[in-house]
């Protein structure tokens, strides 16, 4: 495979060896370290009593709960997963959720609690599992964004009196919650609430400027407003509201306190004043709560926000110590959102993006500019520190990510990814001559975020793009489901990048579908950029980002001012010094150097370039 000119490797991203220079997306600064400086740092690091330490990162995403363990050099040591549909079938979820009427999508909170029980059981029964758990010095991780948990007044006493002979699920019962299901990020039932909230503060531009995003159906603020309007008695009875991230922080501390939300994840609510970063947006709170006095009560329910991503929210609960032999000094670092955690496992340079192909498809980049736009999202960067220079994470999010790809695989390729790939390869890339008549399909199985209002399956054929029920060659759907998604990425990402071409310099692909070579090739070719992957596994970048956050939190016990990037760089020096040990007897996973996995077929890139105008026109038609 020829390495294209824009693929000059600096191995700052996606794990790997420490570099003599470090780029800090937090400050936008690049610093160089002489080898003498590195040698001094290495000696200092080797004196720290970390040799045996492990760090856990969890990822409670839509379809699964994953756990990664890393050592003090941030090398992967073990991984475990609980898949909701398969491992907890009694909750009867499909792809982790229940889909109801009028766009309502929820997940049972009890399922997540049982998943934590099952995950810990699996870990402790695995080879060396008990040993691994006993060596954990800090735990952190991520939750799917926007989804919320509604605690009752009984929660604190239930959480602080857990009996280690019983499971979490048998003790943190429905009594702990006012609502036993959590509105999922795929929910689209709050369109009215979104428009009302935007109108209350002067429109979508104003909402984006103040909170980082225009109002979105899945965001927590519109969901809370709908709850207050439709079930006021349950809203009133709710004592505290958590995001999935702060729900997990609370669960792992289990000290009776409902823990603070972390700022980056709180940006997915349309309630946090990201423009100033100073607090909840009082006008929005007032609107959602229904009055001035009521706003103060909503603020109490939401609690404070943790703006320092590297602090400890508490220590691991005694239930975990007594039942699973975890170290009572183990720190719990505030969990964040899944996308913020994913970006943390990379140190992106200007022009580089992470493309996460999970249940949702997302594009992530880091920036020091606050440049909100109604078509994308801006969140606080998850490694910000209180009082420090603020930076941001920009994101595009597609609801119809892996599920439409699976739908096409099941309908046209007998449920096999290999057969799906054969269809994609058989059709091949378009030539420049074919571009003006290339068929284009749209697969909005769920109400789409981008383009807003996209819904249903649409096929267009011919130069004029006349709508057809099905393509003349139905197998074309396999290629079309990839092409239309990546053409949409291409259309939108240019507005977020400052590069002269409007295209990314490098792509880091993560998430379940990044295992698929055909998908990576097409992504690379449509976006005209080389694709890299973080070592052996790219499906765990989110939980690895959580591990790094946990490590950072622990390192700050002895170096209170340590920044996230410096913590990561220091940890990787141990790899050079060879002082950290996994002791699990397995090859390290997930944290090897990034590898080039796909390069553009530039002739086809030209053809995709020529398709952009038609694509944008047909997409508008599909949304009419
Ligand atoms: N070989 C493959 N080709 C394409 N998609 C895949 C492949 N393997 C897994 N996937 C997709 O990955 C998705 C899960 O991705 P993952 O990142 O684990 O999800 P989540 O976003 O819930 O964390 C599944 O829905 C599946 O469709
Ligand atoms: O809604 C968003 C981001 O705004 C989604 O990205 C969710 O955060 C869920 O992620 P996955 O389950 O696909 O990881």
Q: Specify if 190 maps to a domain.
A: yes
Our answer on whether the CB atom of 213 is closer than 6 Å to any ligand 2 atom is no
Res 500 pLDDT > 90: no
pLDDT digits (tens, 9 = 90+) for 334-391: 999 999 999 999 878 888 999 999 999 999 999 888 999 998 999 999 999 988 889 9
| Global confidence as pTM | 0.90
Q: Is the alpha carbon torsion for 199, 200, 206, 209 positive or negative?
A: negative
Tell me, yes or no, whether 155 lies in a domain: yes
In the predicted model, is pLDDT for residue 18 greater than 70?
A: no
Rounded Cα–Cα distance for residues 266 and 192 (Å): 22
Q: Is the pLDDT of residue 13 over 80?
A: no
- DSSP secondary structure of 320-363: HHHHH---TT-EEPPPEEHHHHHHHTS-PPTTEEEEEESSSEEE
Q: Is 71 exposed, middle or buried (0-12, 13-18, 19+ CB in 10 A)?
A: buried
Question: How sure is the predictor about 19, in pLDDT bands with cuts at 50, 70 and 90?
Answer: low
ipTM summary value: 0.97
CA distances from 606 to 352, 508, 528, 619 (A): 21, 22, 9, 20
In a domain, 293, yes or no: yes
pLDDT for res 22: 58
Helix (H, G, I), strand (E, B) or coil at 509: strand
Give the chain's mean pLDDT: 91
Which mutation among 83, 338, 512, 544 tests ligand 2's pocket best, with the greatest number of atoms within 8 A of CB?
A: 338
Would you say the CB of residue 146 lies under 6 angstroms from ligand 2?
Answer: yes
Q: Which ligand is closest in space to the CA of residue 395?
A: 2
Could you give the 3-state DSSP secondary structure of residue 51?
coil
Which CATH number covers residue 204? 3.30.420.40
pLDDT in tens, 158-178: 999 999 999 999 999 999 999
Q: How far is the CA of 355 from the centre of ligand 1 (A)?
A: 13
CA-63 nearest atom, ligand 2: 12
Q: What are phi and psi of 107, to 5 degrees?
A: -130, 145
User: How far does the centroid of ligand 1 lie from the alpha carbon of residue 516, in Å?
Assistant: 9
Q: Which ligand number lies closest to the CA of residue 403?
A: 1
Question: How many Cβ atoms sit within 10 Å of the Cβ of residue 386?
Answer: 11
Range of the domain at 201: 55-340
410 CA → ligand 1 middle, Å? 14
Pocket test for ligand 2, best of 81, 144, 188, 393 (most atoms within 8 A of CB): 144
- In-domain check, residue 573: no
What percent of the chain has a predicted confidence (pLDDT) above 90?
Answer: 81
Residue-wise pLDDT tens digits, 64-90: 999 999 999 999 999 999 999 999 999
Distance CA 277, CA 296 (A): 18
- As for how many domains the chain has, the answer is 1
Spatial CA neighbour of 540 closest among 10, 24, 56, 95 = 56
Q: Is the pLDDT of residue 586 over 60?
A: no
- Percentage of the chain lying above the pLDDT 70 cut: 89
Mean pLDDT of 197-205: 98
Across-strand partners of 461?
466
In a domain, 523, yes or no: no
Could you tell me if the CB of 540 is within 6 A of ligand 2?
no
**330 touches 315 (CB < 8 A):** yes
d(CA 95, CA 329): 36
Out of 145, 446, 512, give the residue to mutate to test ligand 1, the one with the largest number of ligand atoms within 8 Å of its CB.
Answer: 512
Q: Which ligand is nearest the CA of 340, by number?
A: 2
Question: Contact 320/314 with Cβ under 8 angstroms?
Answer: no
Measure 62 CA to ligand 2 centroid, in angstroms. 7
In a domain, 435, yes or no: no
DSSP-derived letter for residue 144 is -
218 Cβ closer than 6 Å to some ligand 2 atom: yes
**Cβ(339) to ligand 2 under 6 A?**
yes
pLDDT band at residue 115 under the 50/70/90 scheme? very high
Q: Which ligand is nearest to the CA of 58?
A: 1
Q: Pick the residue with more confidence: 371 or 24? A: 371
33 assigned to some structural domain: no
Nearest ligand to the CA atom of 393 = 2
Residue 71 domain-assigned (yes or no): yes
Question: Is 91 or 52 the better-scoring residue by pLDDT?
Answer: 91
Report whether pLDDT(593) > 70.
no
Neighbours of 32 (CB within 10 A): 9
Residue 560's pLDDT band (cuts 50, 70, 90): very high
């Amino acid at each position: 495979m020829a390495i294209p000119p824009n693929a000059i490797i600096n191995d700052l991203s996606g794990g790997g060896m420490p570099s003599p220079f470090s780029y800090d997306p937090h400050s936008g600064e690049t610093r160089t370290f002489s080898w003498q400086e590195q040698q001094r740092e290495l000696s200092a690091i080797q004196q720290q009593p970390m040799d045996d330490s492990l760090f856990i990162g969890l990822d409670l995403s839509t379809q699964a709960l994953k756990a990664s363990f890393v050592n003090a050099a941030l090398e992967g040591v073990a991984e475990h997963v609980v898949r909701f549909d398969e491992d907890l079938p009694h909750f009867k979820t499909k792809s982790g959720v229940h889909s109801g009427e009028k766009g309502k999508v929820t997940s049972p909170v009890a399922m997540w609690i049982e998943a934590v029980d099952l995950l810990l059981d699996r870990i402790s029964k695995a080879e060396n599992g008990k040993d691994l758990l006993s060596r954990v010095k800090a735990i952190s991780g991520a939750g799917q964004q926007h989804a919320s948990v509604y605690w009752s007044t009984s929660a604190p006493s239930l959480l602080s009196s857990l009996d280690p002979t019983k499971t979490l699920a048998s003790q943190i019962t429905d009594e702990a919650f006012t609502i036993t299901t959590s509105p999922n990020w795929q929910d689209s039932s709050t369109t009215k609430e979104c428009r009302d909230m935007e109108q209350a503060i002067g429109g979508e531009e104003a909402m984006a400027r103040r909170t980082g995003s225009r109002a979105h159906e899945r965001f927590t603020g519109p969901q809370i407003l709908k709850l207050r309007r439709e079930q006021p008695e349950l809203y009133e009875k709710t004592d505290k509201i958590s995001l999935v991230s702060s729900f997990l922080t609370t669960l792992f501390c289990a000290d009776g306190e409902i823990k603070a939300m972390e700022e980056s994840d709180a940006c997915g609510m349309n309630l946090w004043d990201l423009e100033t970063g100073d607090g909840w947006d009082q006008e929005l709170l007032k609107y959602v709560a229904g009055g001035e006095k009521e706003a103060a009560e909503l603020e109490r329910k939401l609690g404070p926000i943790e703006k320092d991503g590297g602090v400890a929210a508490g220590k691991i609960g005694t239930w975990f110590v007594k039942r699973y032999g975890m170290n009572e000094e183990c720190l719990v670092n505030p969990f964040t959102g899944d996308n913020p955690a994913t970006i943390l496992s990379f140190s992106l340079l200007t022009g580089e993006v992470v493309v996460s192909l999970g249940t949702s498809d997302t594009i992530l980049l880091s920036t020091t500019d606050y440049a909100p736009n109604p078509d994308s999202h801006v969140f606080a960067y998850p490694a910000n520190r209180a009082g420090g220079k603020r930076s941001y994470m920009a994101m595009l999010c597609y609801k119809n990510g892996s599920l439409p790809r699976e739908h096409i695989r099941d309908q046209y390729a007998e449920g096999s990814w290999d057969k799906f790939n054969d269809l994609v390869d058989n059709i091949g890339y378009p030539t420049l001559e074919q571009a003006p008549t290339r068929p284009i399909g749209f697969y909005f199985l769920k109400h789409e975020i981008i383009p807003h209002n996209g819904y249903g399956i649409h096929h267009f054929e011919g130069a004029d793009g006349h709508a057809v029920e099905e393509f003349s060659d139905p197998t074309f759907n396999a290629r079309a489901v990839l092409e239309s998604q990546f053409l949409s990425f291409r259309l939108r990402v240019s507005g977020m990048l400052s590069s002269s071409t409007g295209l990314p310099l490098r792509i880091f692909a993560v998430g379940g579908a990044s295992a698929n070579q055909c998908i990576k090739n097409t992504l690379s070719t449509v976006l005209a950029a080389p694709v890299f992957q973080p070592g052996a596994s790219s499906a765990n970048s989110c939980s690895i980002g959580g591990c790094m956050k946990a490590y950072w939190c622990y390192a700050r016990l002895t170096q209170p001012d340590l920044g996230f990037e410096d913590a990561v760089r220091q940890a990787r020096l141990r790899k050079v010094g060879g002082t950290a040990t996994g002791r699990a007897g397995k090859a390290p996973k997930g944290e090897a150097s990034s590898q080039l996995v796909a390069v553009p077929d530039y002739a086809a890139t030209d053809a995709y370039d020529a398709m952009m105008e038609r694509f944008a026109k047909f997409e508008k038609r599909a949304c009419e």
